[in-house]
Amino acid sequence: MEKYILKAKKIIASNIYMVIATASSDGKPWISPVFFVYDNKYNLYWVSNKNAFHSQLVSKNKVASIVIFDSKAPEGEGDGVYFQVKVRELTEMEEVLGAIELFNKRVTKNEFKIKSEKEVTKEGVWRIYKAVPYNISKLTKGEFVNGQYIDKRVEIKLI
């Protein structure tokens, strides 16, 4: 199990984009790739336009799914970490400032750094979202069934 946890942590650390899957209250799905950061508890954070469709969806349906994977992995060598999460927009200033610090450590281009909390609160167009995992799984060694490869996952705890 430890090897899966170490590999999952490596996948998270070595990627800067995740894909978040959201859904409307009537089940209409939507997926979005977003730049992300994470904290020492593997909560995931992203910044999005408050009017983006996925932002509107998570304001009404707090449950989402996320995958982090290397999209450039050769065929048959893909690996990923899957999260079931509860999402919320950060509104408390202490949390907002902590998330800004995480972002600005990981962002490399100045135009994408958050210069002030005003950019992600009140009249700002951006918002910071936090995804708190309640289930995390990782691909394991699959198996062949009738000559076809079948992926398998195992639930893991990152902390």
Comparing C-alpha atoms, which of 18, 9, 82, 63 is closest to residue 41?
9
The residues, any chain, with a CB within 8 Å of residue 69's CB and separated by 6 or more, are 11, 15, 78, 79, 80, 81
| pLDDT at residue 127, rounded to an integer | 98
CA atoms within 13 A on the CB side of 102: 23
Q: What is the pLDDT of residue 1?
A: 87
Distance CA 3, CA 1 (A): 5
pTM for the full predicted model: 0.94
Catalogue all structural domains in the chain, each as residue range(s) with its CATH number: 2-156 (2.30.110.10)
pLDDT value, residue 75: 85
Write out the chain's pLDDT in tens, 159 residues. 899 999 999 999 999 999 999 999 888 999 999 999 999 999 999 999 999 999 999 999 999 999 999 988 888 888 999 999 999 999 999 999 999 999 999 999 999 999 999 999 999 999 999 999 999 999 998 889 999 989 899 999 998
What's the alpha-carbon Rg for the chain, to the nearest Å? 17
Helix (H) or strand (E) segment spanning residue 45 = strand 44-49
Q: What is the pLDDT of residue 43?
A: 98
The span from the CA of 86 to the CA of 55, in Å, is 13
